[in-house]
Structure 1
Amino acid sequence: MEMNRMDTRLLLVSHASRAAQRAGRFPADHPLDARGRAEVETKAVRMRVAIPDAAAAFVSPAVCARDTALALGLAATVDDALADMNYGSWHGRRLADLSVEAPQDLAAWTRDPDAAPHGGESLSQLVKRMGAWLDALDDAISGTTSGTSKHVHNVVAVTHAPLLRAAIVYALGASPAVFARIEIAPLSVVELRHSQRGWTWWPASI
């Protein structure tokens, strides 16, 4: 099926892995370490080929996302709406420690998409935030895509795994309760397209 005039093709890229992730910690705003940078270097050529040259590029304000975008050769605009999930007082904390110190709060947060006992952002709130960004995307890229095809706005956004999961949930019109059933690895790519039907999820061609 061909895309209609001025449809949007969006590639969402999750940043490379961080030491905190590998240590089972909630993320803090740390740059990529040597392992994360090596991951990007390994996949960069293949990923660059798949990203249209004239694509409008956006990136989370997090250092790790900006490091990833830079390694991919993207001159990306920082967009606060693409920031990582707000983990409140759990930023930088180890899951293993929280399971001992606050097991009920942790269990509630993982099972109830409306729960945010840690003072941060619930899964439902994250899906709404990502949905608002997706729905406003045409306005965000207005005037930035003069070199793109007249038939499609090409967009790439480097952000965080939870936001890719939230985007899929929103595009499918699914309940945030399915959030935990979606796995997104570092440097994963999710492709969404917007047309008269709304947002749809496509297999990423990377």
Structure 2
Amino acid sequence: MNLRLLLISHAATAAQRAGRIPGAAADADPLDARGIAETAAARSKLGLPDDVASFVSPAACARETAQALGLTATTVEQSLADMNYGRWHGQKLVEIANEAPQDLAAWTSDPAAAPHGGESFSQLVSRVGQWLDTLDVAGTDNASLHPRNVVAVTHGPVLRAAIVHALGASPTVFSRIEIAPLSAVELRRSLRRGWTWWPASS
């Protein structure tokens, strides 16, 4: 292998625990004390490599998760931003279900649908896939023995999109992928095979 990428979803925010879609501003949903404590507890379980290049979503919750994980020299990457939820930013899912049930049903079943006026899941897969495919696979002189390690702290939908892209799967499977806060997804990329999905604990 030439590149080992560990994608980590940020810790739960108070808004997320309340069933609310993230706000539009980057600093809209910072971590609270509970989120920071949960991240600190997960740090040893994630087994982050020492020789790592790290990237982070511009959102406060992702940046604070990265910091609590001990990733200090992180590069803010716009391509790792959360999905654009359009006019649904900051709303509770239960409110959307009551006010616009058909729109919500379309959004959760059709990857091309964007009834909120923001980004569809298919568009998210394209955005995340473009970033994945720009990562340098030749990180060392002997990449097959010493793979380049990369960590990216981002959002659940971004991890789902990365899995879909890595597997070359149809975006229609997006609703079947569940990503909990502080989940880790490991992807590896080689010049011969391209992207593969590995158990994050391996």
TM-score (norm 2): 0.91
* C-alpha displacement of 1:150: 6.3
* C-alpha displacement of 1:87: 0.4
CA distance in 2 between counterparts of 1:35 and 1:90 reads 25
* C-alpha displacement of 1:187: 0.5
What residue identity is the alignment partner of 2:180? A
* C-alpha displacement of 1:45: 2.5
Helix, strand or coil: the match of 2:22? coil
What residue identity is the alignment partner of 1:172? L
CA distance in 1 between counterparts of 2:144 and 2:56 reads 22
Which residue number corresponds to residue 124 of structure 2? 126
Matching residue within 182, 197, 202 for 1:201 = 197
* C-alpha displacement of 1:89: 0.6
Q: Deviations over 1:105-145 (max 9, x none)?
A: 11111111100011110010011111101000118x97xx7
Which residue number corresponds to residue 147 of structure 2? 152
CA distance in 2 between counterparts of 1:136 and 1:158 reads 17
CA distance in 2 between counterparts of 1:46 and 1:192 reads 18
What residue identity is the alignment partner of 2:167? L
1:101 and 2:96 equivalent?
no
1:66 and 2:71 equivalent?
no
CA distance in 2 between counterparts of 1:130 and 1:115 reads 18
CA distance in 2 between counterparts of 1:100 and 1:185 reads 25
Matching residue within 51, 75, 92 for 2:90 = 92
* C-alpha displacement of 1:46: 2.8
* C-alpha displacement of 1:151: 3.0
* Corresponding residue pairs, total: 195
Q: Deviations over 1:138-157 (max 9, x none)?
A: 18x97xx79x9963111000
CA distance in 2 between counterparts of 1:124 and 1:71 reads 31
What residue identity is the alignment partner of 1:71? A
Which residue number corresponds to residue 78 of structure 1? 76
Matching residue within 157, 163, 187 for 1:162 = 157
Q: 4+ runs of 1 displaced by more than 2 Å? A: 148-151
Which residue number corresponds to residue 172 of structure 2? 177
Helix, strand or coil: the match of 2:136? helix
Q: Deviations over 1:17-61 (max 9, x none)?
A: 0111111111123110121111111112332xx211111000000
CA distance in 1 between counterparts of 2:43 and 2:189 reads 26
Which residue number corresponds to residue 38 of structure 2? 39
Helix, strand or coil: the match of 2:8? strand
What residue identity is the alignment partner of 1:92? G
What residue identity is the alignment partner of 2:4? R
Helix, strand or coil: the match of 1:137? coil
Which residue number corresponds to residue 16 of structure 1? 11
* C-alpha displacement of 1:94: 0.7
What residue identity is the alignment partner of 1:204? A
Structural RMSD (CA): 1.9
